[in-house]
Amino acid sequence: MAEAGPKRVLIDNHLGPYGPHTLAQVDPAAQMAALAEIGTDSVLLQAKCHWGHAYYATAVGKRHPALDFDLIAAQTEAARGQGIVPALYYSVRWDEHAYREHADWRSHDADGDPQPGPHTRWRWLCLNSPYRDYTYAMLDELLANYDFSRLFLDIVHYRMLCYCEHCRAAWQEYFGEPLPEAPAPPAGTRSRTGRRWAARGPRRRFTVEQRARLFEFGNHVVDTYLAGVKERIQASGKGVSLVHNAFWPYTHDDILFGESDATGANFFQPAQQTYRLQALAKGRPVVIAFCWDRVMYAGVSESQLTFQAASALAAGADATLIWGAPDTRTGFFGAPVLNKVATTFEKIGPLAEERAKATAYADVGLLFSERQIALGNVPVEAGFSRDTAGAYKYLAEQHFPFRLVCDDVLEPEDLSGLRALIIAHPGDLRPESIGIVREFAEQGGRVLLTGANNLQRDLGIILADRKDHRGRRQDGWFVHAPEAWQIPDWELACSLGHWPLRNFPGFGELAYSLKPIVEPHGEVWDSHGTRWGTETGMPAVVYGRMGAGQIAYCNHEPFAEYLVRGARAFGRLALRILMFIGYAANLRVQGAPNVEAAYTKDGNVLKVFLVNCPVTRPLGQGSGRGPRAGAWVDVPEAVPLADVTIKSALTIESASAASGEAVHVRRQGKHTFVTLSRLSETDVVSMEIAE
Ligand SMILES: [Zn+2]
């Protein structure tokens, strides 16, 4: 259980040393009273910001020059007085004060420049330097002297290599050999995409093996740092929960935290982040944060804020955290912001309460890998490999009852209750995961693999040239042996009888690239971007039985195509393959791709949580970096939808909506159709299944 309710805020104070009016009118009692009035459950307070300024009475660090009193003491006390759970924020690898004071603590690249470049606003400190102990000493102060429930450590990750002497020594000790030298290329050298190499750091120039080691080393640095924090919390004897931002590994976290897109460009992300973190959390609470102020502090609309909070909560997040930069004079939000947050809190309250009592329902899984991304070996979109992001978009838009599972931490129970599993990018999986997936199939599970992988050596046929997205051959030591899959009795299948692809309207290009017609020659069918009659030896789809289940492998990348080109036929191709091997969702909201749907099941009660998005949702189209021109339209309200229909293979006896809107139940053939007459912003449709 989470230690506080779902309605949380972060007063994101990163106040520089400038300005005579900074914090001139700070009033902790008034702040907490205002937050209590809008129903805030918990507040995250800035103990130390990116500038390295402490907002409490510190003997170790530097107090903000504008503060002549202990702000954190006053805020935590006032919060408790208002029934709000206080939590403390501490900026770890960004601390501009420490950076300027201690040359020896700085993180730098092979040329001795700050990372990721010399002109960043807040520069990086190295966790292998004595700076680590400086932060520990400050955390000890906080743990000893303040009453708070959660310690939030920001900017804790190690995905750029630091070349300081401490890191060289740590690398030598960990791997028993020197840190690889990767001098920056000559000034002015440009990458293929035209960006300067220097801006991307030397990491991209590493070999596959070096990148794998960097990932391992980075995880080790973060893991040992957080282990040290955890020891301090335990030594303090206080029940403080630990949470860090951002990225894997989460070994020591009590709560998993994810940031959704602050710029408001990716409206899949609140749910996507929730599902991603749930896969890693293994039952620990998940908190999703997002921002009320877009780039340049033009506020997002109330309906956008509501969508972000509601879609994370509907997906099963335990809490949402709304953050934003306050007014520098008061160190707090003004009335327009408070009103916006108040409206959001009011709207999400009933949905959050109902979702918290329910149990998620899914019958198809999508596997992702944190390591794949960190290795830089695949094209990345929206934090996943491109294929996986496409599969996510497809499952979310088509409203499958799905959940995410993660290769890095996969255990057999993660697949329990699932009837099918999609692995959109099967290269580089852990051998343990392959074994678990095999077992899942043997017990009757359906598995769909797409895209280039490493099966060819095992099967003795060419499924794909194994190249990375820059066209280089792949032979890294982390590419696991394909024989691990041991798929018996492969058949090659692709026929018009099963997939009438030619009949998809308007996709000449698709027909060209997937043209499954094909002359069988021997056992191999011909397809894939080849002209009619050209023999390539490359099959379109292969499938095999494995125990009670089936595995299908589609060499093409339908999900990546679905994402990049927005062509629905590619998604339908994948769906057809899934149906071919015996999976069809038994519960699905039809149409309405702009709606986020999440399913729960407790006993014979199914619930569908619906959240209507106020904007179109171009996943992968510039996520996190602001939208590409024309990719989406901002409107101040979610356009109400009429007749949102849920199709179910289960027999539904009765249904009702939390909003009180009319719901019709209609039986037709093997399916029941439940229609909600009108969806405004959010709703919950409850359905009773016949025994
Ligand atoms: Zn270092």
92 Cα to the center of ligand 1, angstroms: 14
Q: Residues 279-330: pLDDT tens digits?
A: 999 999 999 998 876 543 456 778 888 999 999 999 999 999 998 888 889 9
Confidence of residue 420 (pLDDT cuts 50, 70, 90): very high
Q: Do both 649 and 541 map to the same domain? A: no
If DSSP states are collapsed to H, E and C, what string results for 617-675?
A: CCCCCCCCCCCCCCCCCCCCCCCCEEEEEEEECCCEEEEEECCCCCEEEEEECCEEEEE
Q: Do both 537 and 613 map to the same domain? A: no
> Is residue 669 one of the residues assigned to a domain?
yes
Q: Residues 113-125: pLDDT tens digits?
A: 877 666 678 899 9
Report the CATH number that the domain containing residue 601 is assigned in CATH. 2.60.40
> Is residue 198 one of the residues assigned to a domain?
no
- Burial (0-12, 13-18, 19+ Cβ within 10 Å), 557: buried
Instruction: Give the per-residue pLDDT at 569.
Output: 67
Q: Do both 130 and 255 map to the same domain? A: yes
> Is residue 187 one of the residues assigned to a domain?
no
Q: Residues 149-177: pLDDT tens digits?
A: 999 999 998 888 899 999 999 999 999 99
Report the CATH number that the domain containing residue 16 is assigned in CATH. 3.20.20.80
pTM attached to this predicted model: 0.87
Report the CATH number that the domain containing residue 394 is assigned in CATH. 3.40.50
> Is residue 175 one of the residues assigned to a domain?
no
Specify the higher pLDDT residue, 372 or 359. Answer: 359
279 Cα to the center of ligand 1, angstroms: 31
Q: Do both 349 and 322 map to the same domain? A: yes
- For helices 558-565 and 386-397, give the axis angle rounded to 10 degrees: 70
Q: Do both 600 and 579 map to the same domain? A: no
109 Cα to the center of ligand 1, angstroms: 9
The yes-or-no verdict on residue 250 having pLDDT over 50 is yes
> Is residue 169 one of the residues assigned to a domain?
no
Instruction: Give the per-residue pLDDT at 546.
Output: 76
What average pLDDT score do residues 205-216 get? 76
**Overall domain count for the chain:** 3
* Among candidate residues 356, 382, 408, the one where a domain is terminated: 356
166 Cα to the center of ligand 1, angstroms: 5
130 Cα to the center of ligand 1, angstroms: 10
Domain that includes residue 267, residue range: 7-162+222-356
Instruction: Give the per-residue pLDDT at 545.
Output: 73
163 Cα to the center of ligand 1, angstroms: 6
* Among candidate residues 551, 584, 617, the one where a domain is terminated: 584
Specify the higher pLDDT residue, 70 or 559. Answer: 70
158 Cα to the center of ligand 1, angstroms: 10
214 Cα to the center of ligand 1, angstroms: 13
The yes-or-no verdict on residue 627 having pLDDT over 50 is no
Q: Do both 569 and 602 map to the same domain? A: no
Confidence of residue 565 (pLDDT cuts 50, 70, 90): low
Instruction: Give the per-residue pLDDT at 196.
Output: 43
Instruction: Give the per-residue pLDDT at 358.
Output: 97
Q: If we measure between CA atoms, which residue out of 398, 507, 388, 527 comes closest to residue 451? A: 388
Q: Do both 496 and 470 map to the same domain? A: yes
124 Cα to the center of ligand 1, angstroms: 9
> Is residue 335 one of the residues assigned to a domain?
yes
273 Cα to the center of ligand 1, angstroms: 30
Instruction: Give the per-residue pLDDT at 194.
Output: 43
> Is residue 183 one of the residues assigned to a domain?
no
Percentage of residues in the chain having pLDDT higher than 70: 76
15 Cα to the center of ligand 1, angstroms: 26
Q: Do both 517 and 600 map to the same domain? A: no
* Among candidate residues 356, 387, 411, the one where a domain is terminated: 356
| Dihedral (CA of 437, 441, 442, 444) sign | positive
Q: Do both 244 and 335 map to the same domain? A: yes
Q: Do both 328 and 344 map to the same domain? A: yes
Q: How many CA atoms lie within 13 A of 584 on its CB side?
A: 9
CA distance 564 to 582: 28
CA distance 259 to 268: 12
> Is residue 170 one of the residues assigned to a domain?
no
Q: Do both 275 and 336 map to the same domain? A: yes
Confidence of residue 434 (pLDDT cuts 50, 70, 90): confident
Rounded alpha-carbon distances, angstroms, from residue 50 to 74, 287, 324: 21, 22, 14
The yes-or-no verdict on residue 429 having pLDDT over 90 is no
230 Cα to the center of ligand 1, angstroms: 22
167 Cα to the center of ligand 1, angstroms: 4
126 Cα to the center of ligand 1, angstroms: 4
Q: Residues 575-593: pLDDT tens digits?
A: 878 887 889 999 999 989 8
227 Cα to the center of ligand 1, angstroms: 18
170 Cα to the center of ligand 1, angstroms: 9
Q: Do both 528 and 666 map to the same domain? A: no
Specify the higher pLDDT residue, 530 or 556. Answer: 556
What average pLDDT score do residues 616-641 get? 58
136 Cα to the center of ligand 1, angstroms: 17
